[in-house]
Amino acid sequence: MRVKTGIVRRRRHKKVLKAAKGFRGASGDVFKQAKQAVMRAEAFSTRDRKVRKRKMRQLWIIRINAAARINGLTYSTLMNGLKRAGIELDRKVLADIALNNAAEFAKLAETAKAAL
């Protein structure tokens, strides 16, 4: 007996076309092109989740460095001083303190200077 793929194929196509919603041209409504476009988009999104983490770390380092230079230190000397002083704050928290609470960051910078 022959097995027909009608409902299975329709469901698969609908799933791909739903994922391709909003794509321009044939990529949004022709199954073959939509499938290729969705596969490409998924590959980029997987890659760019890693890239986003990298970019955020770069931004935190830039902010910490700018605040450190205001307090007469460089980024590397600040981080070395904090490590020697036993202060274990990650870059995300340090960047937030540098951006939103300059007085507290100045205290951390003085602690780092004293530890060097």
Q: What is the CATH number of the domain that holds 85?
A: 1.10.1900.20
Q: Does residue 32 sit within a domain? A: no
- Could you report how far apart the first and last alpha carbons of the chain are, in Å? 82
How many domains, the chain?
A: 1
pLDDT digits (tens, 9 = 90+) for 28-37: 999 999 999 9
- Token code pair at residue 7: 């409902």
Residue-number span of the structural domain to which 104 is assigned:
50-115
Cα–Cα distance measured from residue 94 to residue 100, given in angstroms and rounded to the nearest whole number: 10
Q: Which residues contact 71 (CB under 8 A, 6 or more apart)?
A: 78, 105, 106, 109, 110
The answer to whether residues 52 and 25 touch, using CB atoms and an 8 Å cutoff, is no
pLDDT digits (tens, 9 = 90+) for 40-75: 999 999 999 999 999 999 999 999 999 999 999 999
Q: What is the pLDDT of residue 99?
A: 94
- Token code pair at residue 57: 């770390």
Q: Does residue 94 sit within a domain? A: yes
Q: What is the pLDDT of residue 66?
A: 96
Q: Does residue 17 sit within a domain? A: no
pLDDT-derived band at 111, boundaries 50, 70, 90: very high
Q: Does residue 38 sit within a domain? A: no
- Token code pair at residue 83: 């490590």
